[in-house]
């Protein structure tokens, strides 16, 4: 049975831990706010860039060099690269585990060469446990200002592979927030921008009745639009992943805070019962001693 001193130490430790949990919960909530603002801005910008690409392809009647290369360049089995956005830190529940299982399931039916690039230190370990080899690892940005450098590093590697012709398709795997206040796994095709991509983008409608026109050097324009599209798509996916990570951490901290409060309540009741029992024992000792002294004094009273 725990002593009063042991229970006192447990209560103090639980209160300290509760303070840390509350701090982490506040930080996660603050991070979610800034990432959600960035996501809203990126959503509009991503739509505008996509519309620009569609306008260009309509202008040249879909005779894009990228489309030609994608449709004419055929292999028995295409090589793909999966870019997986995970987390560096823990306390995120099933954030990395669910994502890793989703990646494994999505890639299990692919028969060609697979490259896996990861962002964050946790996901590579989980994928390795599943028998999947990670070829490149990138550090996860610790703030919204550091995302640009990460995306730049990824695009450099993408450009190298494009020049060497070693990868046919790129897919992004990440967690993203949903309206119900939770997150779910997402798979997004990043490249190439071929007929399949165009078919997916047909749901985007030009916002005005006026027909768009391409002005200036179209060859420079398409390369800038493509690079901007790849950049903003990667940036948007990374931001959604970071927002989901902090939401998962917020949920984990809320559960931890509830558990700590329940533990404190339980320890507190045990402490008070033990303290009351100790006080009762002391009172019984005092009463017993007083009774014994009274009897002793009565026995020593002189006879008349």
pLDDT in tens, 78-119: 789 999 999 887 778 888 999 999 999 999 888 788 999 999
Identify the DSSP state of 202.
T
Contact 124, 135 (CB under 8 A): no
Q: Running DSSP on this structure, what letter comes out for residue 145?
A: G
C-alpha torsion sign, points 217, 206, 169, 84: positive
C-alpha distances in angstroms, 290 versus 283, 293, 295, 296? Answer: 10, 5, 9, 10
- List alpha helices for the chain, DSSP H: 4-59, 65-72, 95-107, 122-129, 147-164, 195-201, 218-299
Q: In angstroms, rounded to a whole number, what is the distance separating the alpha carbons of residues 301 and 294?
A: 11
User: CB under 8 Å to 35, separation ≥6 — which residues?
Assistant: 144, 239, 240, 242, 243, 246
**pLDDT band at residue 142 using 50, 70 and 90 as cut-offs:** confident
Higher pLDDT, 69 or 5: 5
- Asked which of 8-22, 32-46, 66-80, 184-198 is least confident by mean pLDDT, the reply is 66-80
Q: How far apart are CA 79 and CA 167, in angstroms?
A: 5
User: What is the model's pLDDT at position 164?
Assistant: 82
* Backbone φ, ψ for residue 175 (5° rounding): -95, 140
Cis check: omega of the bond before 192, within 30 degrees of 0: yes
Q: Is the pLDDT of residue 64 over 80?
A: no
In this prediction the pTM is: 0.75
Tell me the chain's radius of gyration from C-alpha atoms. 32
Q: Which residues, at least 6 apart from 302, have a Cβ–Cβ distance to it below 8 Å?
A: none
In words, the CATH class of domain 16-203+223-256 is alpha beta
User: Within 195-217, where are the H helices?
Assistant: 195-201
pLDDT band at residue 155 using 50, 70 and 90 as cut-offs: very high
């Amino acid at each position: 049975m725990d002593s009063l001193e042991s229970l006192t130490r447990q209560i103090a430790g639980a209160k300290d831990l509760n303070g840390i949990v509350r701090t982490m919960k506040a930080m996660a909530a603050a991070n979610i706010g800034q990432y959600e603002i960035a996501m809203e801005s990126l959503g509009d910008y991503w739509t505008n860039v996509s519309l620009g690409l569609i306008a260009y392809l309509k202008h040249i009647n879909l005779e894009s060099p990228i489309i030609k290369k994608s449709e004419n360049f055929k292999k028995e089995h295409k090589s793909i690269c999966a870019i997986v956005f995970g987390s560096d830190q823990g306390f995120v529940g099933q954030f990395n585990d669910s994502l890793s299982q989703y990646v494994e399931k999505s890639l299990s039916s692919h028969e060609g060469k697979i490259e896996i690039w990861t962002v964050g230190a946790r996901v590579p370990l989980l994928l390795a446990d599943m028998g999947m080899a990670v070829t490149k690892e990138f550090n996860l940005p610790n703030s919204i200002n550091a995302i640009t450098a990460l995306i730049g590093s990824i695009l450099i590697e993408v450009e190298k592979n494009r020049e060497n012709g070693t990868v046919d398709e790129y897919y992004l795997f990440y967690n993203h927030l949903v309206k119900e206040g939770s997150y779910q796994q997402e798979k997004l095709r990043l490249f190439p921008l071929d007929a399949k991509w165009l078919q997916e983008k047909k749901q985007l409608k030009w916002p005005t009745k006026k027909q768009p026109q391409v002005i200036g050097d179209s060859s420079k324009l398409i390369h800038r639009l493509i690079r901007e599209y790849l950049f903003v798509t990667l940036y948007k996916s990374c931001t959604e992943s970071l927002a989901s990570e902090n939401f998962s951490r917020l949920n984990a901290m809320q559960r931890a805070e509830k558990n700590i409060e329940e533990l404190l309540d339980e320890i507190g009741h045990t402490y008070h019962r033990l303290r009351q029992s100790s006080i009762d024992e002391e009172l019984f000792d005092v009463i017993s001693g007083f009774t014994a002294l009274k009897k002793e004094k009565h026995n020593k009273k002189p006879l008349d």
